[in-house]
Amino acid sequence: MTNTITVTLTSIAHGGEAIGHHAGKIVFVPYAIPGETVQAEIVEEKQRWARARLVRVVKASSDRTLPPCPYFGPGQCSGCQWQHIAYGRQLEFKAEVVADQLRRLGGIAEPPVLEPIALADEAGLLEYRYRNHAQLVADATDRLGYLRDGVGQGAARSEMRRQGVRAPGQPAHDVIAVDECLLLHPLLDEMHSALLAGIAEAEAVDDRPEEDSTAASALPVIIRRINLRAGVNTGQRLLAFETVGDRAPGFLVEELPVRCVVRRRDGSVEGLIGDPWIEEEVAGRTFRISANSFFPSNTVAAEVMVDLAAEMLAPQGHETLLDGYCGVGLFGLSLAGQVGQVIAIEEAEAACDDFAWNGRDLDNVTLHEGTVEEVLAALADGLASDALTSSSGRERIDLALIDPPRSGAGLEVVQQLARLGVPKLLYISCDPATLARDAKLLIAAGYTLEQVQPIDMFPQTFRVESLALFRLTA
């Protein structure tokens, strides 16, 4: 295959690239759109496929639009992939990707995928300014930004790149410093601006001569990453610094009401200003979210998903609900008033502490700290034992909700859910490929996929959240 080719794109890939065919191979072209004809340079080639860099758009799609961000595009910031695509078409592509993965990896001939839900707030459609959490990486001069977009990276490094984490050994010049990110909620945008000012001021101080410049305390603090988090509905803000040697930064953001911590390499957190958590309000409840705890990066999406979970599971008030990978309790605690009992499972210590705090007013909630696989096995063994002894002291699980990480739930979790005989399961997915693989396992275990509702939690990116409803029929 020659280095530069002309190719017509026909479809969209799971990773956001447009797909075409040339010389018998599948060609992936980022920043192109299905329907376009483009010139592209081959930068990675395998036996059956190739990746290419967009050189020129020969025939543009009517869906192509002008990106508002100056850092967007090939070789630039990796935070967005689809700013060049009209938003309505982004939604259609996300539905196509979810359905395609369910067909190809899940073996489902006609996936029941609904139209994606586009989110909105009081100001209108939420295409930008939606992120309540972001991770900024420092370049060699301590400027903050995101990793540079690139092709031809190994799988592990590509995934780290997509998550905004510099891979081991990756040079600092792979970071694109940004003065403004259009995805950040205004609360985070203010923090970002204050950080840039604080870093500049600290560097000016560091440039002054010291009497004992050899002392360790006189050496400048090297920033690796800074995590920004905000409670959109509470106004609370948190900064988590990650530095070389776990040292406190040489400046703090004092112009804003911001809580600050240092996150050490071992995962522990040292408080610098205020409490090491924020609070957010969703669905009428207040949730404490610590620096190390997971919470959806789009608060409006979190509110919509809680409402959808109640609608799709349709509890009648007496059921026992299993909340797997429960985190700080967004779903289980929000639904606790609509069921008889909640059994929650979480492995992360920080999230368990937050869950206990968030659910301290509820007497129908039980938290099990451990992996979902281990706890489900213990629950299944307990129910089997109860059945043998004719004990009626333990309730069976009527409804289940699981929100696994990007890697999915996997075979063991599916097997234990089937052992428990959970009649209705809501699977919350952040990756269509792992949803499809788990859907195939669930169907083999006796479940039927009834409905998939995509939600556009991350506009301008290929990422898509989905709520998939399964019912036990075998």
Q: What is the mean pLDDT of residues 452-466?
A: 98
**What's the pLDDT score for residue 253?**
77
Residue 321: band (very low, low, confident or very high) from pLDDT cuts 50, 70, 90: very high
What's the mean pLDDT in 426-448?
98
Q: Which residue has the higher pLDDT, 53 or 386?
A: 53
Cβ atoms of 332 and 324 closer than 8 Å: no
Look up residue 27 and give its two tokens: 């060609």
Q: How far apart are CA 226 and CA 461, in angstroms?
A: 21
Specify which residues 53 forms β-bridges with: 41
Check pLDDT > 50 for residue 283. Answer: yes
pLDDT at 48: 94
Angle at 386 between CA 382 and CA 390, to 5 degrees: 180
Mean predicted lDDT score pLDDT of the chain: 90
Q: Which residues, 6+ apart, have CB-to-CB distance to 456 below 8 Å?
A: 90, 91, 94, 116, 117, 118, 119, 464, 465
CB 231 within 8 A of CB 279: yes
Cα separation, 138 vs 136, in Å, equals 7
When pLDDT is averaged across residues 190-199 and rounded to a whole number, the result is: 88
User: Amino acid identity, residue 444?
Assistant: A
pLDDT of residue 474: 77
CB 320 within 8 A of CB 396: yes
The DSSP call for residue 410 is -
CB 295 within 8 A of CB 330: yes
Q: What are phi and psi of 325, to 5 degrees?
A: 55, 55
b/e burial code for range 118-149 (CB count within 10 A of at least 16 → b): ebeeeeeebbbbbbbbbbbbbbeebbbbbbbb
300, 317, 320: which is closest to 308 by C-alpha?
Answer: 300
Residue 104 DSSP SS3: helix
Q: How confident is the model at residue 161 (pLDDT cuts 50, 70, 90)?
A: very low
| Separation between Cα atoms, residue 284 and residue 334, nearest integer Å | 8
What predicted TM-score, i.e. pTM, was given to this entire model? 0.91
Instruction: Give the residue among 239, 247, 225, 321 at the shortest CA–CA distance from 278.
Output: 239
Q: Which of 165-179, 182-196, 428-442 has the lowest mean pLDDT?
A: 165-179
Residue 39 has pLDDT above 90, yes or no: yes
Inter-residue contact 243 to 224 (CB < 8 Å): yes
Block residue for tokens 């699980």: 397
Res 169 pLDDT > 60: no
Give yes or no for a contact between 69 and 83, defined as CB atoms under 8 angstroms apart.
Answer: yes
Query: Which residue spans within 99-255 are E strands per DSSP?
Result: 120-121, 124-125, 133-138, 144-147, 175-177, 223-230, 237-243
The 3-class secondary structure across 289-318, one letter per residue, is: EECCCCCCCCHHHHHHHHHHHHHHHCCCCC
Token pair listed for 453: 């509702």
| Count of residues making up the chain | 474
What pLDDT is recorded for position 160?
42
Going by C-alpha positions, the residue among 336, 219, 344, 238 that lies closest to residue 293 is: 238
pLDDT-wise least confident of 18-32, 107-121, 169-183, 225-239: 169-183
The DSSP 8-state label assigned to residue 333 in this structure reads H
At 34 the pLDDT is 98
- Strand stretches in 266-423, DSSP E: 269-273, 277-282, 285-290, 320-324, 341-346, 365-369, 399-402
241-280 residue pLDDT tens: 998 888 888 777 777 899 999 999 999 999 999 999 999 9
Structure tokens at 224: 């690796």
CA distances from 378 to 99, 278, 381, 384 (A): 35, 34, 5, 10
Per-residue pLDDT for 389 more than 50? no
DSSP designation for 250: S
As given in the structure block, the two tokens for residue 197 are 């000012």
